[in-house]
Structure 1
């Protein structure tokens, strides 16, 4: 038994000599052939031996498991010796340390014939190749872990922005991307591509924006990349990116405060639906006439304060958590809301059920969701410098807010667009909303097939310029228009 602590013995090559085994070994360093298991198998066949590669814990990584003399193996793993040889029971064993840091891996080669100069050279050089391959694998794995951790961090920042915790979002971002969220306002963009191309697209977004924007792989939609940027130049940069890629689309929001990132995200998704039908594959959310802008602002804020007053008794953190979850839950499905917030869908449902109970509403009712959405939307606008209304001040209530001439005119104009359709799409849409957006129940009421209901609702979308089959702001505005026009009964809300 013998051991050396002076490193692996290297045999100088004769000038111009390139033995066949050396050329074969070098082939394993080519990108297409980099596989430690194949190298170990090649070594076993080349020197006619049994070969084993074990990690620091003794786990077999490649080859055939061989019994090792424990004191020798321990010396190699600790780095105390670099190689060792042992002979006995008709076998010759050669052990080589793989790796510079302790604990190291151990390459063991066992054969019946003694190790001559040729076989020793093959083992020595193979050990060097294995070390290179393992180091390369570790470098790739470390890079992958770093990219994954960075992506998770970006997602965490986005989730904080989605629940309006801008202070925490800025604090987290400042340590890694100084100045990224220093601005008061930002735009949100959503880029859509095939899911298989998303990782490459996200990497290009990072390069195109020079990491001066928050780039996140959407946790809810496999083909979406979300970009939050305070820079005006980002829009042009992303348009150029979309131009270079077929079947890629871009939707952008209007400028919003960071606290309204969730609102901006909804706008970007809405614009994305328009971008799919445009030649340049891009669209920015169109600022149109929203019903709340046609209402008396003081009366509207006072009414919203009364509707949400039951939540005021909660601790601040709990109240903020419930409100943020409900805002997103009214815009997206429970599953997608959970993915965006990084919680379970049961948590989303539990929070929204608690809000339902406290506000005395039924979220199965589309009109009730629309009214609560209006109250929440009004409240978040207070963050943009508006003053809060007095919840105790006299107010006409929802009936009075919807009865104003401006709101009534807006509702009649919007719904009147459907009157030109001879299929009575307006009646179908009204019935579908009253049925909670359920095509089967609406079909039973109308005496038609459920697919007919869906087709009517789908055909109303381009006429009204709003998405209806997907829950969210567009649907709620149409529901409010029906309420203002007197086509639907107002929902029961404790504070409204």
Structure 2
């Protein structure tokens, strides 16, 4: 049995109690290694309380990382940081100082953990300080690893967004080049489906990680820059789409809308389809919807005439450099489909840039996008131009018949479609058709429509909202649905057709004389 230094014999009970008291600090220190307690500032506070001292942790520049700043000799501090010495002690009349070097992950330099108190550190206090320095070193390494991991995840997220933005402006070559370096084979496809998933904003990071895991990173998963609750996924394969759709059923308040299969160059259009489908998903029991392949007016028009009209309508843009023209067309297409603010966030540019590009297109086409009929007709031309594979603007030759918008709308298939669509509104006694027609002519402005019809603006909005389920199209949000309804009104003659660039006598919609 061990004896005391004074020669008195220590009983087993006394030894156990004394050892427990000496080691109780270890349990407190270990608590700081738990996942919920890993914070060097809390460790410094614990050490100060345990030793009855002032504690500081400073980096190589002298910046305070934790605790309370302690004055110390600069040369001594430098020797510790550079590794010339591992620890140092200093005793004065009013305070005793102990300094310990704490390693950090390279390339960062070491830190200095300092303890200052009126009395010197005894064996127990010195042991606590040494072990605390080891815990601080572990926490600093863990923080650095976590920071590096977070930095890599942010970089990967930024790259995925950059790829999406390139696809949105039809730059598929650059998008594939960026993707190939990190995700080989990701865009080795000509077509893909776009999905938009919606969840609570606070759950989006979790949803992104789950999408990445379920698709084995074989789909482009992006945090939507325009809507905090949305995740955008460009899925080349069919399996990824089915897997993603299952997420809506497994998680509460999670919805998904998907596009039809589109070429990569039509990613912007597919995104619009997915957003439209997402709105429908909110009313589905399974919280999932795919864009309905309903009959679109452009599919009912004479293909040759539509091609020729599109080429002539967009001909003023042919004088631009190819990349400038593509940028303006892609931006305008998104700007017509969504708000300028949303389009700007999706493209990664300012809203002023979006407006400036659209104003340039307006100037070149000599038209006014504040007119809903102009927006609808321009939207028709831009969307059809995407499918021309670069032939838009080349025309169909001098011998091709001169196509006019009125000719496109006069076809029997278009006429039947338009009359059947708008006839759905006739059953409502509130004359929704008149309200909707006037609202479109007023540029979608409820106040102006109310003045014309002599009703309250809220009544106008209620009429337009009531027309949405009848027509099965969203009207209060600009986009494909609204523009199709505008084209239907143009086809039946309820609205005057817009005249694009009337100053050009050869323009497809210029008046014919003689």
- TM-score range (shorter-chain normalised) is over 0.9
Question: What does residue 240 of structure 1 align with?
Answer: 246
Question: What is the deviation of 1:239?
Answer: 1.9
Question: What does residue 73 of structure 1 align with?
Answer: 77
Instruction: Give deviations 1:258-306, integer Å, cap 9, x for gaps.
Output: 0000011111111111111111111111111111111111111111111
Question: What does residue 491 of structure 1 align with?
Answer: 498
The whole-number CA distance in structure 1 between the counterparts of 2:281 and 2:390 is 28
Inter-CA distance 199–305: structure 2 relative to 1 (3 Å threshold): same
Counterpart of 1:254 (choices 260, 271, 292) is 260
TM-score by length of 2: 0.91
1:351 correspondence with 2:352:
no
Counterpart of 1:56 (choices 47, 50, 60) is 60
The alignment partner of 1:109 has SS state of strand
Contact 2:255 2:288 in 1 (8 A): yes
Counterpart of 2:28 (choices 20, 24, 28) is 24
Counterpart of 1:480 (choices 475, 478, 487) is 487
Structure 2: gaps (5+ residues): 1-18, 502-506, 510-514
The whole-number CA distance in structure 1 between the counterparts of 2:457 and 2:306 is 37
1:436 correspondence with 2:440:
no
Counterpart of 2:277 (choices 271, 276, 286) is 271
Instruction: Give deviations 1:19-74, integer Å, cap 9, x for gaps.
Output: 11112211222233322122112212222222111112101112121112111211
The alignment partner of 1:383 has SS state of coil
The whole-number CA distance in structure 1 between the counterparts of 2:433 and 2:44 is 73
The whole-number CA distance in structure 1 between the counterparts of 2:443 and 2:293 is 27
User: What count of residue pairs does the alignment treat as equivalent?
Assistant: 482
Counterpart of 1:95 (choices 99, 102, 127) is 99
Pairwise mapping of residues 368-383 of structure 1 onto structure 2 (< 5 A)?
Answer: 368-383=374-389
> 101-110 or 122-131: which moved more?
101-110
1:320 correspondence with 2:326:
yes
The whole-number CA distance in structure 1 between the counterparts of 2:158 and 2:251 is 26
> 107-116 or 229-238: which moved more?
107-116
Counterpart of 1:290 (choices 292, 296, 315) is 296
The whole-number CA distance in structure 2 between the counterparts of 1:295 and 1:31 is 64
Contact 2:247 2:254 in 1 (8 A): no
Contact 1:458 1:469 in 2 (8 A): yes
Question: What does residue 469 of structure 2 align with?
Answer: 462
Counterpart of 2:404 (choices 379, 397, 401) is 397
The whole-number CA distance in structure 2 between the counterparts of 1:378 and 1:483 is 18
Structure whose alpha-carbon radius of gyration is higher: 2
The whole-number CA distance in structure 2 between the counterparts of 1:96 and 1:185 is 61
Inter-CA distance 388–280: structure 2 relative to 1 (3 Å threshold): farther
The alignment partner of 1:175 has SS state of helix
TM-score by length of 1: 0.94
Counterpart of 1:39 (choices 36, 43, 66) is 43
Instruction: Give deviations 1:468-488, integer Å, cap 9, x for gaps.
Output: 111001100100110010000
Question: What is the deviation of 1:391?
Answer: 6.6
The whole-number CA distance in structure 2 between the counterparts of 1:468 and 1:308 is 26
Instruction: Give deviations 1:132-174, integer Å, cap 9, x for gaps.
Output: 2222222222222211111111111000000000000000001
Instruction: Give deviations 1:443-487, integer Å, cap 9, x for gaps.
Output: 111100111111111111111111111100110010011001000
1:135 correspondence with 2:141:
yes
Question: What is the deviation of 1:384?
Answer: 9.2
Question: What does residue 117 of structure 2 align with?
Answer: 111
The whole-number CA distance in structure 2 between the counterparts of 1:89 and 1:73 is 21
Question: What does residue 336 of structure 2 align with?
Answer: 330
Instruction: Give deviations 1:326-379, integer Å, cap 9, x for gaps.
Output: 000000000000000000000000110111111011100000000101111111
Question: What is the deviation of 1:197?
Answer: 1.4
Contact 2:314 2:393 in 1 (8 A): no
Instruction: Give deviations 1:56-98, integer Å, cap 9, x for gaps.
Output: 2101112121112111211221223222222335432211111
Contact 1:97 1:106 in 2 (8 A): yes
Question: What is the deviation of 1:387?
Answer: 11
The whole-number CA distance in structure 2 between the counterparts of 1:241 and 1:475 is 30
Question: What does residue 153 of structure 2 align with?
Answer: 147
Instruction: Give deviations 1:182-235, integer Å, cap 9, x for gaps.
Output: 011101011111212111111111111111100111111111111101111012
Pairwise mapping of residues 6-21 of structure 1 onto structure 2 (< 5 A)?
Answer: 19-21=23-25
Inter-CA distance 384–409: structure 2 relative to 1 (3 Å threshold): farther
